[in-house]
Amino acid sequence: MADMKNFNELRAQNNQFIYKSYKISEDEQEIILDFVYQLREKEGVTDFHHRLRLPHDAKIDTTVDMENIVFHIGMAEAISYYKIAAPKEFIIECGALNTEQKKWFKKLYFNGLGEFIYLNKISVTQEDLVDFIALETKGFAKIELQTQENNIIPIGGGKDSLVSYELLKSAFPDSLLFSMNPIVASQKILDKHPAHAIKLKRELDLEKIFDFNKRGYLNGHIPFSSIVGFISIWLGLLYKTRYIVLSNESSANEENIIYNGQKINHQYSKSIEFENDFRAYVSEFITDDVEYFSFLRPLDEIHIAKLFSEVAQEHFLDFRSCNVGSKKNEWCGKCPKCLFTYIMLCNYIEDDILREIFGKDMLDDPELQELFDGLSQSDAVKPFECVGTYDEVNYALSQKYYSYKKEELPCLLKNYQPKEMKYNLEVDYDGQNNLPQKFKEVLREHVSRLSF
């Protein structure tokens, strides 16, 4: 593989990224969104073709003009291609953004690419990363329509979205379940509720992306949840459904590391900061008729793990939170996400069942010591994964530690020093969250039954 091209070297070439076009097509079988992007370099121009395919459904209404939201989906999706060379100029040929909107996308790209910036050792400010240049001057009108008091719940296959679904299914029996390129775990949930399932196929121009990667161009993590956010608003409009119900918890707000004064958060687009920004942007520039929020935001991972153990038992052997093994429908047993999930559940699901789920006792695997330290020690770099806080991890580990006799401790706990910590398990329903009142009541009812 070629040496990674230097960010400054790429910038010196005065490359440009262009959002060329978006197109909405429809027939009896499906709705297709096509996006075309370009990367212009000295040596030539590369076109990228990106597509979303949504099966037609009797519940869908396509009579409303969707140009506004589809354009914005294209702005969010563009980041997968923009990051290849991360040029200063991002030219928009198919829509308009005013000064406030450009500032909003500057923040999204800078913070959403924070991990990418850190791992590629890039030194750049939010102001200098990218300039959005819109060639059109006329913006889009906001979309107005009557939506129903119902939910679209994105289902990723992990424990969190399953908890949201299980807690809400009585209060909202007609909730729609949305999955994009569903893995086996997600598909199993959708198959149980085919009348409520929304399956969207996302097709990246992967061959060209891989070709650039092989030639040493830039690569790294993107704010995928921001893409899901804009697509979910589109689905809410198509299905005339009021609420987009995410399953992001409070620990998504914690950064992994601070680099050049920037908080680097793998979960930035799952954080309350992004959620607040996104809600404000959608309301001001796209629509007031679809509302995006995270149902689990008031909770810690500890609460969610306990809820999962009690309300989602039928999913124990089916759920998958491991990104490495998800396509093969397995837990890899070697990554931070596997170990973190195991730690969160170890006090609430019996050991023999956990071993059946994960294929082993993950606390008894000496090869996981470095990951264990990264999750439990605040002076280590927190793994770049969707994992919880150090306090959550240490609370769970300390609880588990004291459940063993000294001679029975698994290897990762033998040298672990349990923490004498007061962990506040009270839920602040009026804190930083955007739950409508009915959703707070449902959450409060279920959480009040928990005992720790």
Q: For 341-367, how does the pLDDT look when each residue is reduced to its tens digit (9 = 90+)?
A: 999 999 999 999 999 999 999 999 999
What pLDDT score was predicted for residue 137?
A: 83
What pLDDT score was predicted for residue 2?
A: 54
What pLDDT score was predicted for residue 180?
A: 96
More confident residue, 375 or 1: 375
Q: Whole-angstrom Cα distance, residue 28 to residue 253?
A: 42
Helix axes 369-376, 336-345, angle to 10 degrees: 70
Q: Count CA atoms closer than 13 A to 251's CA, side-chain side.
A: 21
Q: For 167-207, how does the pLDDT look when each residue is reduced to its tens digit (9 = 90+)?
A: 999 999 999 999 999 988 899 889 988 999 999 999 999 99
> What confidence category does residue 24 fall into, taking pLDDT thresholds of 50, 70 and 90?
very high
Q: Whole-angstrom Cα distance, residue 124 to residue 176?
A: 41
Q: Percentage of residues in the chain with pLDDT exceeding 70? A: 97
Whether 318 has a pLDDT exceeding 70, the answer reads: yes
The region of weakest confidence among 270-274, 384-388, 394-398 is 384-388
Tokens standing for 205?
Answer: 């121009």
Q: For 150-168, how does the pLDDT look when each residue is reduced to its tens digit (9 = 90+)?
A: 999 999 888 999 999 999 9
Q: Whole-angstrom Cα distance, residue 161 to residue 259?
A: 31
Mean pLDDT of 136-140: 87
Mean pLDDT of 324-331: 82
Q: Percentage of residues in the chain with pLDDT exceeding 90? A: 75
Q: Whole-angstrom Cα distance, residue 218 to residue 220?
A: 7
What pLDDT score was predicted for residue 380?
A: 64
Q: Are 190 and 179 in contact (CB under 8 A)?
A: yes
Whether 136 has a pLDDT exceeding 60, the answer reads: yes
Q: Which is it for the CA torsion 80, 84, 88, 90, positive or negative?
A: negative
Mean pLDDT of 414-427: 87
Measuring CA to CA, which residue among 188, 118, 167 is closest to residue 384? Answer: 118
Whether 255 has a pLDDT exceeding 80, the answer reads: no
More confident residue, 265 or 59: 59
Measuring CA to CA, which residue among 36, 443, 5 is closest to residue 205? Answer: 36
> What confidence category does residue 1 fall into, taking pLDDT thresholds of 50, 70 and 90?
very low
Range 214-247 burial, b when 16+ CB lie within 10 A, else e: eeebbbbbbbebbbbbbbbbbbbbbbbbbbbbbb
> What confidence category does residue 113 fall into, taking pLDDT thresholds of 50, 70 and 90?
very high
What pLDDT score was predicted for residue 379?
A: 67
Q: Which residue is listed with tokens 């620990």?
A: 251
Please count the residues of the chain: 452
Whether 108 has a pLDDT exceeding 80, the answer reads: yes
What pLDDT score was predicted for residue 381?
A: 65
Chain mean pLDDT for the chain? 92
Whether 229 has a pLDDT exceeding 90, the answer reads: yes
Mean pLDDT of 85-103: 97
More confident residue, 323 or 161: 161
Mean pLDDT of 355-381: 89
